[in-house]
Structure 1
Amino acid sequence: MTAGGGLLIPNSEEDDPQLRWVGKPSIIGPSWMKYPLLTLGMLGVQSVWTIEMSQASPFLIELGLSKSLMSLVFVAGPLSGLIMQPLIGSLADRSKARLGRRRPFIIVGCCLTIIAMYLLSWAKDLGSILSFGSATQMKVISIGLAILAVFLVDFSVNAIMAADRALLVDTLPPSQQEAGNAWAGRLSGFGSVAGFWIGNVDLLKIFPFLASTQLKALTVITVLSLVGTHGLMVWGVKERVLIEDSRPKSTLGGTLKSIWVNALTLPKDIRNICIVQFFAWIGWFPILFFTSVWVSDLYIHQELLQHPNLSHTDPTLLASATRAGSKALFYNALVSFATAVFIPFLVAPSTLSSPSYSLDQQTESGDIRRGEWSEGKEGWSVKSLQIKWLTLGRVWLFSHGVFALTMFATWFADSVTGANMIIGLTGFCWAIAGWAPFSILGELILSCDAPPPSIPLRSRSTLTVNHDHSHSTDSLSLSPSSPTNEQVEREGLMGKTSFESNERVPDGIDGEDNMEVNVEVDGDTEEGQENRRPQGGSTAEKAGVILGIHNVAIVIPQFIITFLSSIIFYLLDPDRQVVHLPVPPAISKNSTIPAGNFTNLFPDVKLNSTVTDLRSLNGEIDWLARQDLPNPSSPPDAVGFIFRFGGASACIAFYLCWRMLRGLQRQGRLM
């Protein structure tokens, strides 16, 4: 979910003489069920992510883990995405299992995810059993089991996602990858909306027989969703079986060396995208994992002000606060889904597109496909919705600005309603973040080795790229571990429409301009720069390596902000076990109380002279002293500070993106 989405590279093993296969990939059922059945697993995976994003943080805090340590737990997200996706991809590529290369990993991953989900929701109960009555040991064991569960969820779900995506690539021919990715994104987006909506419902009232806590009830529903969706997919999709593989094995050292060498020789514009993503993701990671905590804190603070006699440890209050966090994420997912569906129809093509290349050819599934087109021929009706000046690059730039403003607006949020509006608005930015950079990156990869005309990739964020540049597809998705996979999970949501371009590329603009490497991240100066390519071949041939570098650019800031968040939580939100009031003397309510004692303790409080009033006041102070909560009139806003730090980083991303787009425009390439 948070480790890095990317462009999907179609299967290049079809004619490899070093491989021998048995069988043929197929999908059971009528043709109209082909895409939904193949991508159904994305819905189940997203339901797991929604549970972690909305429930894990409040649950860890409820168990007694400090916010400082809680933030470190979610290093599991980027770590699992960085490790599991390439690892599972490599292992599965060489698997000779009877079920095929991908489905065995899906089955094992689902089993581990189920164990992890139940371990998380039952951590407190298991801690109570294993502690043998010791309250201290119960707390330590419960927290340890919950942390283990979070790591296991992240690693196992990333394994499932890697296998799900690879199964899609293995099963569909290049001409159908675009439609397949679109369906993957649609179901992923639907799973996100449905998951957060269910998390907002009080399941214990509707299904009291299901479980004793909200998290346990959500676990039951999530497990049913995961098993049902992947069970149907494993049953309905048949893989070919690898029986012989004589390819030389790649080494970890060789892979790391390849990434390092190519990172130093990236084309300038591709490098600039990676740098923009670096700063953008410093802001995104806190939104994915700390939103629920932030909204929950606001809810609890709001309730304590309205009901002074309410304890912050009240189970009903905590459950309501967690549901409030889920509601905010539901609004985010809803806005993101709507943006992903409608915004692509408004975006005009870039000048990387060719007027002699269009999309009025249809596939057997009814999707619009790229075909021959002559200038002057009318495009299909959706073209009339395009806003000429609204290019994808400008939409991406605008989203950085909106995101920065929403993060700074957290300074003024003092109610759950205001928080919902802020988090909901970030849904627009999240949809663009999961689409625009991937689509632009795909265009640049394809355009770096050949002069225009090139293929417009406007439909989705994930592309399927052939080395001969004859096919390209893309898609969008959300998620708290792989960059994300939250991005890859939404990739197909961005619509399935490509757009024709009536604008010609200016004469003299050469695709080689894109290959310059500067120390500055602006793209403004073109003369005197040395054109350079990734070593060892064309940019398109290095698409996989480039996407790996882009993934690293997304993951590294997640590690950075994780550790910074831990420090910020430690400094701004330390655990306070006593209320900020003087502790009253141990006086019985039936004893006689000298008024002077209270006057000395509370000189600003006007006291009546009657003993009855003094006893009443003493009782109120006793009650306050027993509450394990900080002063509700001034709650620490550590999460808000982290959000605003992310907003400052988004401002840097905005500036760098503006410089990059200005450089492209000067080259005659209006992104």
Structure 2
Amino acid sequence: MDSGEGSEISERPQISLKRLIFACTVAGGVQYGWALQLSLLTPYIQTLGLPHALASIMWLCGPVAGFVVGPSIGYWSDKCRSKFGRRRPFILSGCLLICCCVLLIGFSSDIGSALGDTKENCSTYVGPRWKAAIIYVVGFWVLDFSNNAVQGPARAMMADLSGKHGCNAANLIYAFWMAFGNILGYSSGSTGSWHKWFPFLLTNSCCATCANLKAAFLVAIVFLLICLTVTLFAAKEVPLCELEPSEAAQGGSAIFSIFKTFKSLPAGMPSVLIVTALTWLAWFPFILYDTDWMGREIYHGDPSGTKQEIDTYNKGVEEGAFGLLLNSLVLAITSMVLGPLCRKFTSKVVWITGNFILFLGMAAITVLSVISTNAYSGKINSAVAGPDGVKLGALAIFTALGFPLAILYSIPFACASQLAADEGGHKHGLCIGVLNVSIVIPQVFVSLGSGPWDALFGKGNIPAFALSSGIALIGGFIGLAVLPKISSDSLKSSSFGSMH
């Protein structure tokens, strides 16, 4: 570390590791809702009439939010002079907006019906409901903007508060809370009984699947508000005007500063951006279509087919959400041991290992999909009944992928935070926003290309997963060649022990 970083840390109040952990609870609240999005929303939007090939377009809001919201919010939070702190005003505003968007999405079917969609009961009508779909997509886009407005400042705040514990510890704590939120979210997504516990949510335009989504989102709002409250009280930020008076007086354009940051990145940052982009490019088809894959390729259901096919598809989605729950359990455990692993093998080796495991996982998904498709007799009853080995294999793959996902959620951000800290540590928010650009560019390719790519080789998700496998392998070898070695100092105090 240089002297600039040392002087900054000496001015910041040191907090205990326990308080640092509680300061990050908002990550669990946001991730709870994000897990529901990943497990339930792609299947749900297809029940409103959006074809599978076009469903990926919906996810373009992520790249747009990443390009615009991520770096801009990061820059503004770096310069924020509020007495409430630099990051907490953005976290509070973003969380409140998330709550509003979740309500809009959950009640989109009812709102669409009120605006003129079909009055036919949802249990018999399987056609498009375009007004509900438009409302849903608008809510989803704003929700993704809101998620970005919270996650960037939250990560930057953890870097600000990390002090003696180090940037790596802060990012591992963040990954742990993300895993915790995933566990709760995927548990909710795999539970098909919400409509029985809250029968008043069932309406003429909102049947069991819709009511389950609605109830799970209402619970997500309550959980997010609880996590937000804990974070706001635990993260006692020092106002920037007291911490860095000269920094607070600076102004300038966010966009100009972003371009300037790209031109003056730390020495190892371009390599981190390249490998991050390749890693996310390999991950996005699974992240966007994991439960849809279970419903289509493993259970052979169809969200726009007959009632029996829809029920079968929903069963596969629930099983996929359960697989993501197992995935999150492994993610949580892994996030607690990544610190020792990085100290022993270096973060570069651990990151590359994650890419190679991802390659094996995506290849296994492709092979399993082919086996399941070839074994399918064309009868829905036989698809639900077996073969059990294929379904157990799918759950095993979901579980194993928790290890490389924990790496993805922590190590790239830890590397970026540490490289920024090595040059003074004054721009954590902006640097994390810049790193976010290397995440959203792959999502653009996947969102625009996965539909035509699947259509080129036939309907379904198999072609996208096959491509992911090859990209993960390439990313591993490129990372081996170009990733920088982070100094051992950055890995100190990165375990969850010694909570005093």
TM range (shorter): 0.7 to 0.9
2:232 maps to amino acid: V
Q: Report the Cα offset of residue 105 of structure 1.
A: 2.7
Q: Deviations over 1:547-569 (max 9, x none)?
A: 66544333322212221113224
The answer (yes or no) to whether the contact 1:67–1:569 under 8 Å persists in 2 is: no
Residue 531 (structure 1) aligns with: none
Question: What is the rounded CA distance, in whole Å, between the counterparts of 1:119 and 1:423 in structure 2?
Answer: 30
Question: What is the rounded CA distance, in whole Å, between the counterparts of 2:417 and 2:236 in structure 1?
Answer: 30
Residue 407 (structure 2) aligns with: 432
Question: What is the rounded CA distance, in whole Å, between the counterparts of 2:154 and 2:262 in structure 1?
Answer: 28
Residue 315 (structure 2) aligns with: 320
Matches within 5 A, 1:288-299: 288-299=287-298
Matches within 5 A, 1:18-33: none
Residue 445 (structure 2) aligns with: 560
SS in structure 1 opposite 2:309? coil
Question: What is the rounded CA distance, in whole Å, between the counterparts of 1:80 and 1:45 in structure 2?
Answer: 16
Q: Percent identity?
A: 24
Q: Report the Cα offset of residue 202 of structure 1.
A: 2.6
Structure 1, unmatched stretches of 5+, are 1-8, 17-23, 350-389, 446-463, 469-539, 574-635, 665-671
Cα distance change on mapping 1:651 and 1:143 into 2, 3 Å: same
Residue 89 (structure 2) aligns with: 104
Question: What is the rounded CA distance, in whole Å, between the counterparts of 1:128 and 1:201 in structure 2?
Answer: 26
Residue 28 (structure 2) aligns with: 43
Q: Report the Cα offset of residue 47 of structure 1.
A: 0.6
Structure with larger RCO (C-alpha < 8 A, sep 6+) = 2
Question: What is the rounded CA distance, in whole Å, between the counterparts of 1:298 and 1:121 in structure 2?
Answer: 27
The answer (yes or no) to whether the contact 2:60–2:444 under 8 Å persists in 1 is: yes
Number of residue pairs aligned between Structure 1 and Structure 2: 443
Matches within 5 A, 1:62-461: 62-97=47-82, 99-131=84-116, 133=118, 139-169=129-159, 172=161, 174-176=163-165, 180-204=170-194, 207-209=197-199, 211-212=201-202, 213-241=211-239, 247-252=249-254, 254-262=256-264, 267=267, 270-301=269-300, 311-313=308-310, 316-346=311-341, 349=344, 390-413=345-368, 414=372, 415-439=390-414, 445=419
Q: Report the Cα offset of residue 41 of structure 1.
A: 1.2
The answer (yes or no) to whether the contact 1:88–1:163 under 8 Å persists in 2 is: yes
Question: What is the rounded CA distance, in whole Å, between the counterparts of 1:157 and 1:188 in structure 2?
Answer: 13
Matches within 5 A, 1:46-57: 46-57=31-42
Cα distance change on mapping 1:395 and 1:181 into 2, 3 Å: closer
1:339 maps to amino acid: T
What TM-score do you get using the length of structure 2 for normalisation?
0.76
Question: What is the rounded CA distance, in whole Å, between the counterparts of 2:213 and 2:182 in structure 1?
Answer: 17
Structure 2, unmatched stretches of 5+, are 121-125, 203-210, 373-389, 486-500
Query: Greater strand share, 1 or 2?
Result: 1
Query: Greater helix share, 1 or 2?
Result: 2
The answer (yes or no) to whether the contact 2:331–2:403 under 8 Å persists in 1 is: yes
Cα distance change on mapping 1:32 and 1:551 into 2, 3 Å: closer
The answer (yes or no) to whether the contact 1:54–1:326 under 8 Å persists in 2 is: yes
What TM-score do you get using the length of structure 1 for normalisation?
0.58
Cα distance change on mapping 1:112 and 1:80 into 2, 3 Å: same
The answer (yes or no) to whether the contact 2:283–2:468 under 8 Å persists in 1 is: yes
The answer (yes or no) to whether the contact 2:87–2:157 under 8 Å persists in 1 is: yes
The answer (yes or no) to whether the contact 1:283–1:647 under 8 Å persists in 2 is: yes
The answer (yes or no) to whether the contact 1:210–1:217 under 8 Å persists in 2 is: no
Cα distance change on mapping 1:25 and 1:227 into 2, 3 Å: farther
Q: CA RMSD in A?
A: 3.8
Cα distance change on mapping 1:122 and 1:10 into 2, 3 Å: farther
Question: What is the rounded CA distance, in whole Å, between the counterparts of 2:433 and 2:212 in structure 1?
Answer: 38
Q: Report the Cα offset of residue 104 of structure 1.
A: 3.2
Q: Report the Cα offset of residue 35 of structure 1.
A: 2.9
Question: What is the rounded CA distance, in whole Å, between the counterparts of 1:346 and 1:317 in structure 2?
Answer: 42
Cα distance change on mapping 1:262 and 1:218 into 2, 3 Å: same
Cα distance change on mapping 1:659 and 1:94 into 2, 3 Å: closer
Q: Deviations over 1:613-657 (max 9, x none)?
A: xxxxxxxxxxxxxxxxxxxxxxx4x31210111111112112223
